[in-house]
Chains A and B, each alone.
Chain A
């Protein structure tokens, strides 16, 4: 298997000494690669590497080269800082091989951190950073370790805000924590979507799962408005809907977990829902059937979210450790749910004042 590689080395190594992939187990080849590197290092200029970009992206691994070097891999080669494309290609290929041979770990909820880091978060990063120009504040209110329940407002016809929140939180948080989202069972009924949700760390919104995740010290994200929140009309934007039965509060109380309210501004404008065709929704067994300025008129083009300006603010945590005994007291649960709801609503108003133009810079 290493035959062809070794055979090519003598002719090629002098010209394109490149670091071996982190996974290549051929030690001598790596040593070979380093020695000539010292001689050739000054020669390459950035220009040739630029030209080769296309060659690298033609590779099937091309869409993966954006991936940040995942933890645990060998550090970058010090000799040739200019040649990071080779490292990216090698990392991408090693990633592909690990995926194809099943060499990765999945937790009991189906969360696949490697795939999330390498594929989903880079895609979402493009969306939240470049398309929505998201500004995140108050990340210091999210604990660095230990459990917390992040409760947000839901909006946007498609539950994109949950994904944006999880990606942005992971990037901005000093401990790069993953947000484990709780989704409606409709999400888990749909093929493909259900698996995407599980692989990115989601699970069904039910108390056993929420308490299990919180008990394990995870950061759990929940949107208590559910479909009432994402399926509301554009006219009702930024008006928080009913918070259900407050199941999220009792999960937090039972585990003594702090609740971190989060307000998300910008989600309402991405697919402004002008009308809801209820008979069609009933026919398709969906909670609503949206009509937006672009959907369904423009067909698939209508799926492109409008580039609104996003602001995300995490509010100070609400401690619940002293209320562990009252998890089954409906009055305590409702009061706490109201407190969370009020906090989010007020933060939404202040954020909206900071953003006069929904499509501003």
Chain B
């Protein structure tokens, strides 16, 4: 643990990115925890107001990340939770350059401010399993020690690598602060709304021809639980956070009752670029790479340190399917009925043949 720091729940917690889904829920949950005196939600000045009812017990500050410097010290912040990450460029909000501003520059500025906050003793940073990059020589399962072999093509993957580099630098300079980096698998669940949930919600789902990547998901509620425990308990280090088990993409699509539309890989990369430049769809090279290589992580360290096992990838996906049954093309009932129909048909033909021959 950290020398000089007292373990247990911190008094004043600052949460970034409360204008977004994850940040709002984490802040609301921290505010509801009686052990925590004060929760301050930081947000970009131009962020929306969709989560205001959720954040009634959170003090919200709309401020540019560059102006955080003095604020952390003035507010006597004990812990910082950094969740303000953008996972895919949003054409309505500045596209890729705004995304990079927020992910990379925003993190740099926040960490610079943290470095000069004397009372700070805990830092929790949201990262992603995209930190492992993609390569054909990758091992099938990534542990926290695995180094990325190739720099990813996608913007988000590169941002994550930069971000983790800054956190490593921060750890060196402020070894008294308990720094936790959580590498999250893609979120899924009944309420989550992400690029990936939108992808699976379509009736016809594009896939990469000849590739059936292994995927892992994390239920949104489990992500909240792990983030919450990271604040109220002490867990220094880097952790993979994902639902145990694996679904292959084709399997996930079939379980969701959707229809896969295989596309040749160069076509898909081109289509992703085209869709982005034309301003619709938010698929980028990050998604294409994920759908070529897949990504599976080892969660042993999380389970041992947190004494918490997220619900499995299959269960998390099941929960998502239940909430998004609108776009189902083929249901299990229909398949079972078709099976029965064909079987009955064969039996009838066979009995007819047998009758004639006997």
B136 touches A212 (CB 8 A): no
CA A192 – CA B353 in complex, angstroms? 41
Assuming the contacts A189-B136, A208-B139, asked whether A93 and B357 have C-beta atoms less than 8 A apart, the reply is: no
Task: Please encode chain A, from 71 to 104, with 1 for each CB lying within 8 Å of some chain B CB and 0 for all others.
Answer: 0000000000000011001100110110111111
CA A190 – CA B138 in complex, angstroms? 15
Chain A residue with minimal CB distance to B212?
Answer: A195
B251 touches A2 (CB 8 A): no
Query: Which of A8-16, A233-241, A265-273, A351-359 is near enough to bind chain B?
Result: A8-16
CA A185 – CA B137 in complex, angstroms? 6
Residues of B within 8 A of A12 (CB): 344, 347-348, 351
Main secondary structure of the interface of B (DSSP, over half): helix
Chain A residue with minimal CB distance to B245?
Answer: A108
CA A100 – CA B337 in complex, angstroms? 13
Query: Which of B12-20, B40-48, B100-108, B203-211 is near enough to bind chain A?
Result: B203-211
Query: Which of B21-29, B109-117, B328-336 is near enough to bind chain A?
Result: B328-336
Chain B residue with minimal CB distance to A199?
Answer: B212
Assuming the contacts A12-B348, A106-B246, asked whether A208 and B146 have C-beta atoms less than 8 A apart, the reply is: yes
B353 touches A100 (CB 8 A): no
CA A289 – CA B87 in complex, angstroms? 43
A56 touches B248 (CB 8 A): no
Q: Tell me if B37 counts as interface (CB < 8 A to partner A).
A: no
Instruction: State which residues 292-340 of B face A: CB under 8 Å.
Output: 294, 296, 330, 332-340
A8 touches B348 (CB 8 A): yes
Q: Tell me if B140 counts as interface (CB < 8 A to partner A).
A: yes
The contact of B346 among A89, A97, A107, by CB within 8 Å, is A89
Count chain A CB atoms within 10 A of each CB in B296, B336, B346 and give the residue with the most: B346
CA A208 – CA B354 in complex, angstroms? 58
Q: Tell me if B271 counts as interface (CB < 8 A to partner A).
A: no
Q: Tell me if B278 counts as interface (CB < 8 A to partner A).
A: no
Q: Tell me if A131 counts as interface (CB < 8 A to partner B).
A: no
Count chain B CB atoms within 10 A of each CB in A8, A90, A106, A109 and give the residue with the most: A106
Q: Tell me if B131 counts as interface (CB < 8 A to partner A).
A: no
Q: Tell me if A209 counts as interface (CB < 8 A to partner B).
A: yes
Residues of A within 8 A of B357 (CB): 47-48, 51
Assuming the contacts A5-B344, A16-B354, A191-B265, asked whether A106 and B214 have C-beta atoms less than 8 A apart, the reply is: yes
Assuming the contacts A93-B342, A101-B254, A191-B211, asked whether A15 and B246 have C-beta atoms less than 8 A apart, the reply is: no
Q: Tell me if B350 counts as interface (CB < 8 A to partner A).
A: yes
B347 touches A97 (CB 8 A): no
Q: Tell me if A4 counts as interface (CB < 8 A to partner B).
A: yes
Q: Tell me if A203 counts as interface (CB < 8 A to partner B).
A: yes
Question: Which bracket fits the contact residues of B?
Answer: 35 or more
Residues of A within 8 A of B335 (CB): 97, 100-101
The contact of B214 among A16, A101, A110, A188, by CB within 8 Å, is A110
CA A204 – CA B138 in complex, angstroms? 7
Q: Tell me if A279 counts as interface (CB < 8 A to partner B).
A: no
Residues of B within 8 A of A100 (CB): 254, 330, 335
Total chain A interface residues with beta-carbon distance under 8 A: 59
Instruction: State which residues 239-257 of B face A: CB under 8 Å.
Output: 245-248, 250-255, 257
Instruction: State which residues 1-25 of A face B: CB under 8 Å.
Output: 1-2, 4-5, 8, 12, 15-16, 18, 21, 23-25
Task: Please encode chain B, from 198 to 223, with 1 for each CB lying within 8 Å of some chain A CB and 0 for all others.
Answer: 00000000001111101000000000
Q: Tell me if B341 counts as interface (CB < 8 A to partner A).
A: yes
A93 touches B210 (CB 8 A): no
CA A109 – CA B141 in complex, angstroms? 7
CA A94 – CA B343 in complex, angstroms? 10
Task: Please encode chain A, from 233 to 271, with 1 for each CB lying within 8 Å of some chain B CB and 0 for all others.
Answer: 000000000000000000000000000000000000000
Q: Tell me if A206 counts as interface (CB < 8 A to partner B).
A: yes
Residues of B within 8 A of A301 (CB): none
B210 touches A94 (CB 8 A): no
The contact of A110 among B246, B332, B348, by CB within 8 Å, is B246
Residues of B within 8 A of A96 (CB): 339
B137 touches A191 (CB 8 A): no
B339 touches A48 (CB 8 A): no
What are 20 inter-chain pairs, A to B, with CB distance below 8 A?
A1-B337, A4-B341, A4-B344, A12-B344, A15-B351, A18-B347, A24-B339, A44-B354, A51-B357, A52-B354, A56-B350, A85-B350, A86-B346, A86-B347, A185-B137, A188-B136, A189-B136, A194-B210, A198-B212, A203-B140
User: Given A102-B251, A192-B209, A194-B210, list of 15 further CB < 8 A pairs?
Assistant: A12-B347, A16-B347, A21-B339, A21-B343, A44-B354, A55-B346, A85-B350, A89-B346, A90-B343, A94-B339, A104-B251, A107-B246, A109-B140, A109-B141, A198-B212
Residues of A at the B interface (CB closer than 8 Å) are 1-2, 4-5, 8, 12, 15-16, 18, 21, 23-25, 43-44, 47-48, 51-52, 55-56, 59, 85-86, 89-90, 93-94, 96-97, 99-104, 106-110, 112, 185, 188-195, 198-199, 203-204, 206, 208-209, 212
The 6 A-B residue pairs whose C-beta atoms are closest, nearest first, are A191-B210, A16-B351, A102-B254, A1-B337, A102-B255, A192-B210
